[in-house]
Amino acid sequence: MHVEKSKITLGVNIDHIAVLREARKINDPDPLMALAVCAQNGADQITIHLREDRRHIHDEDAQRIIDASPLPVNLECSIDPAIIDIVCSLRPHRATLVPEKREEVTTEGGLDVSGQFESILNAINKLNAHEIEVSLFIDPTIEAVETSERLGAQWIELHTGSYANLYAMRHSALPHSHHAIESLRLPRHELDERIQKAYGDIVDSANLGRSLGLKVAAGHGLNYQNITSIVTIDTIEELNIGQSIIARSVFTGLATAVRDMKKLCQR
Ligand code: PXP
């Protein structure tokens, strides 16, 4: 499939700034302060997640960020009708619907678009009626992409977590990383095959999504190393990246961390 080469846009997920704040439950660091730094250093979008348990971003954060952001704001949220009502009143540029379990550390797995078809459809219709475009965070499978198109979403965001986990198992030398421990159980050639398969699933899903008229984003677990092969997938228009950028910013400052990631987004 031939697609014109184009710039891949970068959404910076700033939730982890609020995670640090919540460690002390004070006002510092304020995620609002990240907006100008991200905008001045190449970010194209700000992403935040208003979780049902409000464990990091609060409603007031979301309101202040949406009101003040010089960049479009992509608000991740569950399909719970009460949350959708709040998101409709917050009026972000985009809502990305994600599955949510209270006990998870971060979003695990994509939406069950077939099993929750009606609830997701209701959420999409309501958000679209409030002029908020909708993205569905899905696993990179043919069925999930086709169902997302039937649901009438404007975007899909392909979950890159499996690819990122396998990549970390293969390449991480960190002794405390659980990836490194798990990798001991798998021979390298098997890990390489699994990475290729996970990567191929992302390529196939992105190509199918684009051919069905969907805009295609990707994210979760992407970092300064594993991003390079994802960027070469021409049918992916946007990446949403949080943890690795905020982690690097501890040592380099946020401006450099965003700029470095943006450089890797050129293709
Ligand atoms: N996209 C979605 C839908 C997410 O839920 C997350 C994690 O909040 C991300 C992207 C960013 O993931 P990471 O923090 O691992 O870069």
Convert the pLDDT of each residue in 48-87 to its tens digit.
999 999 999 999 999 999 999 999 999 999 999 999 999 9
**Which of ligand 1's atoms lies nearest the C-alpha of 13?**
11
Give the Cβ contact number of residue 16 at 10 Å.
21
pTM: 0.94
9 backbone φψ class: left, alpha, beta (φ>0; ψ -120 to 50): beta
CA–centroid distance, 98 to ligand 1, in Å, is 10
Angle at 212 between CA 210 and CA 218, to 5 degrees: 40
Residues flanking ligand 1, CB < 6 Å: 13, 15, 49, 76, 96, 98, 106-107, 137, 157, 219-222, 240-244
72, 38 contact by CB (below 8 A): no
Q: Of 76, 100, 160, which is best to mutate to test ligand 1, by the most ligand atoms within 8 angstroms of its C-beta? A: 76
Give one word for 30, left, alpha or beta, with left for phi > 0 and alpha for psi -120 to 50: beta
- Distance CA(19)–CA(63), nearest Å, equals 17
Query: Mind listing the pLDDT tens digit of every residue in the chain (267 residues)?
Result: 555 556 799 999 999 999 999 999 999 999 999 999 999 999 999 999 999 999 999 999 999 999 999 999 999 999 999 999 999 999 999 999 999 976 666 667 899 999 999 999 999 999 999 999 999 999 999 999 999 999 999 999 999 999 999 999 888 766 556 665 666 677 888 889 999 999 999 999 999 999 999 999 999 999 999 999 999 999 999 999 999 999 999 999 999 999 999 999 998
State pLDDT tens for residues 195-206: 999 999 999 999
The end-to-end CA distance of the chain, in Å, is 17
Angle, helix 188-211 to helix 161-171, in steps of 10 degrees: 150
